[in-house]
Amino acid sequence: MCGIFGFSGFHDPDCLRAMSRRLRHRGPDGEGVLETEHFSFGNRRLAIIDIEGGDQPIYDETGRLAVIQNGEIYNYIELRKELIARGHRFRTDSDTEVLVHGYEEWGRHIVDHLEGMFAIAIHDLDSGETFFARDHCGQKPFFYWSQGDKFVFASEIKALLECPLVKRAPDLEALDAYLCLRYVPEPRTMFAGISTLPAAHHLILKRSGEFVIERYWAPTIQQEPQHRSDGDYLDELDTVFQRAMELTVRSDVPVASYLSAGVDSSMIAKVAHDLNPDLHTFSFGFRSPIDETRAAAETARLIGSQHHDVHLAAEDFGNLAKVIYQMDVPVGDPIILAFDKLATTCAEGFKVVLSGEGADEIFAGYPFHKIMQLVDRYHRIVPGFLHSGIAMPLLRQTPIGILDRAFPFPAYLGRSGKLRLVEFLEQYRGRSLRENYFSLRTLWGEQDRRSLYSEAFRERATSDWISKTDSTSGGFLDRLLRLQFDEWLQDWAIIRQERNTMAHSLELRLPFLDKKLLEFAFRLPPRLKAKRLQDKIIERRLARRMLPREVVKRPKNPFFMPMEFFFENPEIQKLIDLTLNETQVRSRGYFDPETVSRLVQGMDRRDFMGLKQVMSLVILELWHMIYMDETILFD
């Protein structure tokens, strides 16, 4: 059930129909709307639960409350039983109907009872008030625009733009964040005047157009008594994970699973196969040295799933503009092409697919988790005079080839990558956790960004968005994970998958983002997440209970686009010529044409950072051409 849209403060049937048509890919199985003079909303349905009876909107017994949703309420069976016991009468077997009866029973506190992924709208026809809520991790999108007494919302921005009131304009103050992170952290988007309802927030809209946004849930860092053994934690994780899987696979249609060579997706596929022996799995590769399809196929053979390989070719870059259109907002990494092609193949036979996103975020599985722990420990032990007087001069003189061996990606670090590492270590002591976190992950350091901007634009670009207050609760790793949870997960990890699956009417489900599993992970002592060179310690221990030894022992291989194998292809060169030529760069006005030209010419060095920087600029300019200039059009 995968696309919602609507507006308040005016009546425009043509706008409502246009928004519905624009979201048809999210729900080709049905359409339903509610229209009044003051408020209208609708749903495009992908039928997964109660295929025959779950059309939306769904009303309460009196017809006063109407609900639409995008997503799935995984614990709807348990909630349905509880609500029936409290006297509510159900007319369907749909998970959506528990929302309207739950709202009758608990009001806005209904969100405290929900487990799943959702963006919901519940309208009270008597009072004219509307309740909106987004799930705990932002798995399902919700965008809105408001002005005076008028409010417009939708699952995708392209549907908002069907409303004549919503104008197309870039948010220039978001540009610095995009260059730093390759995405714009919520609640901003790259569109001026268009915001996203943050994850774990609800919004109450009055008939007058006034609205209030509040956070209803946040992961709590709460260290438990030390008398608990590692074995107790492992047993609890086993129970919580099995329950999360059982809830997540609930469906009236077959469920497939993505499968890489890593433990996250392997654990999901193993349990999914135990629950459904006819499981199909899908893996992705680049036909390059980082290709994991052979190892994934071996995992599939060991667990017994029916397996399918998908590969990206350089010619697929011809689809980049289309995939950027699917994304709504620019995400500056061509890896989005891989997610689109994987979804295209899976959607040929399935409506639902499982994936392992979320495990690295809650169990500390990324290389920068270990790097930042090691660097923080180093700075607490090594005196400042030794660091600046001996360690840093040695690092500056260290050949790139030696540093390359410690680089977590199997690609060439390059001079720009070395400079970024030196800058990170040199400035670490004077920065907050948040600043160091962004500094280590950024594609463009602050000085790089200042050098890239044109003289006219430089004063408009601001990095004030970085300077938020760090959390002081918990130890170093807990604070780092909590910081990452609030922006990286929904703005980088989830969006790349969600938009590209839904573009093909395929629903993505993420078992590791189960609410109870999240709360368990944030209660874990850091020693069971990552230490020294180990990552996802407790998850790997659980994997040993479930998977063959050779699967668990495989080292983590970062999933990234190996541009060094693709960038010379004519399809890619055509994109670069279209977007980064001097005339186009100068007319856009953001960047210095000579600096951009040097970056493009430097691609021949096959430098990891340089290749990624060029592609992030290509994606940004294509986004402008699609959404701002409308010179590249899609139906």
- Asked if the structure places residue 633 within a domain, the reply is no
Final residue of a structural domain among 524, 559, 594: 559
Residues 418, 442, single domain; the answer is yes
pLDDT in tens, 467-503: 666 666 778 999 999 988 888 888 989 999 999 999 9
Any domain includes 179: no
On whether residue 244 sits in a domain, the answer given is: yes
Instruction: Express each pLDDT in 511-531 by its tens digit.
Output: 999 999 999 999 999 999 988
- Same domain? For 587 and 509 the reply is no
> Residues 6 or more apart from 397 whose CB is under 8 A from it?
none
Q: What is the enclosing helix (H) or strand (E) of 420?
A: helix 414-427
pLDDT tens profile 15-34: 999 999 999 999 999 999 99
pLDDT tens, residue by residue, 343-364: 999 999 999 999 999 999 999 9
For residues 166 and 157, give the distance between their C-alpha atoms in angstroms, rounded to a whole number: 10
- Whether the per-residue pLDDT at 110 is higher than 60: the answer is yes
Residue range 534-561, pLDDT digits in tens: 889 999 999 999 999 888 887 667 677 7
Cβ neighbours, 10 Å, residue 507? 25
Give the three-class secondary structure for 307: strand
- For residues 117 and 254, membership in a common domain is answered with no
Q: What distances in angstroms separate CA 577 from CA 485, 582, 599, one per listed residue?
A: 37, 9, 13
Indicate the pLDDT class of residue 410, thresholds 50, 70 and 90. low
Instruction: Locate 621 and state its tokens.
Output: 């300019």
3-state secondary structure of 353: strand
Q: What's the confidence (pLDDT) of residue 53?
A: 84
237/162 same-domain check? no
Structure tokens, 509: 């489900």
- At 573 the pLDDT is 93
My answer on whether 390 and 260 are in the same domain is yes
Considering the candidates 2, 15, 137, 346, report the single residue annotated as catalytic: 2
DSSP string, 348-413: TT-SEEE--TTHHHHHT-SHHHHHHHHHHHHHHHS-HHHIIIIIHHHHHHS-HHHHHHH-SSSS--
| Cβ neighbours of 25 (radius 10 Å) | 17
Report pLDDT digits (tens) over 567-592: 888 889 999 999 999 999 999 999 99
* 340 shares its domain with 266: yes
Residue 459: CB partners within 8 Å, gap ≥ 6?
none
Has residue 634 been placed in a domain? no
How far from chain centre, in Å, is Cα 211?
A: 26
Q: Which domain holds residue 18?
A: 3-171+187-215
Query: Could you tell me if residue 180 is inside a domain?
Result: no
- Give the H/E segment covering residue 321: helix 320-327
Longest dimension (CA), the chain: 76
| Residue 331, in any domain of the structure | yes
Q: Which residues contact 568 (CB under 8 A, 6 or more apart)?
A: none
Categorize the per-residue pLDDT at 463 as very low, low, confident or very high, splitting at 50, 70 and 90: confident
Q: Judge whether 176 lies within some domain.
A: no
The answer as to whether 427 is a domain residue is yes
Q: Which of 535, 559, 583 is the last residue of a domain?
A: 559
To the nearest 10°, report the CA torsion of 293, 299, 305, 309: 0
Could you give the CA distance from residue 4 to residue 6 in angstroms, rounded to a whole number? 7
Q: In the chain, what percentage of residues exceed pLDDT 90?
A: 69
Which among 559, 578, 607 is the end of a domain? Answer: 559
d(Cα 321, Cα 632) in Å, to the nearest integer?
8
pLDDT score at 473: 72
Task: Respond yes or no: is residue 2 known to be catalytic.
Answer: yes
Residues 94 and 198 in one domain: yes
Number of domains in the chain: 3
Q: Looking at the structure, do residues 575 and 514 belong to the same domain, yes or no?
A: no
Domain check: are 463 and 581 in the same one? no
pLDDT tens figures, 415-461: 777 777 778 888 888 888 988 888 888 888 888 999 999 999 998 88
pLDDT at residue 608 tops 90 = no
φ/ψ of residue 105, rounded to 5: -80, -45
Please give the mean pLDDT across all residues of the chain: 91
Q: What's residue 63's pLDDT?
A: 93
Asked whether the beta carbons of 437 and 471 are under 8 A apart, the reply is no
pLDDT given for residue 54 in this prediction: 86
In a shared domain, residues 531 and 597: no
Query: Rounded CA gap, 8 and 386, in Å?
Result: 63
- The pLDDT tens digits of the residues spanning 93-103 come to 999 999 999 99
Looking at the fold, whether 380 and 403 belong to one and the same domain comes out as: yes
Alpha carbon distance 70, 118 (integer Å): 5
144 and 272 inside one domain: no
Mean pLDDT within 616-627? 97
